[in-house]
Amino acid sequence: EALSMSDRVAVMNGGRIVQEASPRELYDQPADRFVANFVGRANMIPAVVIDRDGPGDAVVEALGTRLQTPVPDGVSIGDEVTLTFRPETVRWHETDIDRPNVLPVRIVRVEFLGEIVEYEAEVLTDGEPVATIVGRGAPLATPPEGGRVFLELVSHACRVLGA
């Protein structure tokens, strides 16, 4: 409710403000893991920064592959970080596509929730599951439960949180 009714929101943890921002900024650019989970569901993946690609962008090693993502100031090559992204920013495709951040997955759960469908996907590396990602989408475009598809983690929708 605070996100829909406010111009600015302060999130507190342990009696101290950890982030104060517009509702959109809190949701899209959380300051840390606590804020990311407090204002909605978020995927959290351990990663290591392996290359900086100009100001604000980096390549991270996560989920058995290299992913492109924006990074905050102060993050350096070699840093262990958390890659976070919202379930509704995940896109699924029936076939592999020529874009960054596309991962082979197996859909292990599909749940109809009315206006949305939520699904869990096991990320596959050499055919073996290495992590689970939660995605959300429209009921008319539902990935098949048990099916092998490709998930796209849209680069600009990913965020890196420092250790």
**Domain 88-153 in CATH: superfamily?**
Nucleic acid-binding proteins (2.40.50.140)
Residues 95-111 have pLDDT tens digits of 999 998 999 999 999 99
Task: For residue range 6-47, list pLDDT tens digits in order.
Answer: 899 999 999 999 999 999 999 999 999 999 999 999 999 999
What is residue 163's predicted lDDT score, i.e. its pLDDT? Answer: 61
Comparing CA positions, the residue from 62, 102, 65 lying closest to residue 80 is 62
Could you tell me the pTM of the whole model? 0.89
Spell out the domain ranges in the chain: 1-40, 88-153
- Kindly list the strands in the beta sheet with 102-112, ordered across the sheet, starting from the edge strand earlier in the chain: 90-93, 148-153, 102-112, 117-125, 128-137
Give the percent of the chain with pLDDT over 70: 99
Q: Rounded CA gap, 40 and 27, in Å?
A: 7
Q: Which residue, among 101, 45, 54, 50, has the nearest Cα to 76 in the 3D structure?
A: 50
Residue 116 gets which letter from DSSP?
Answer: -
State the pLDDT at residue 128: 84
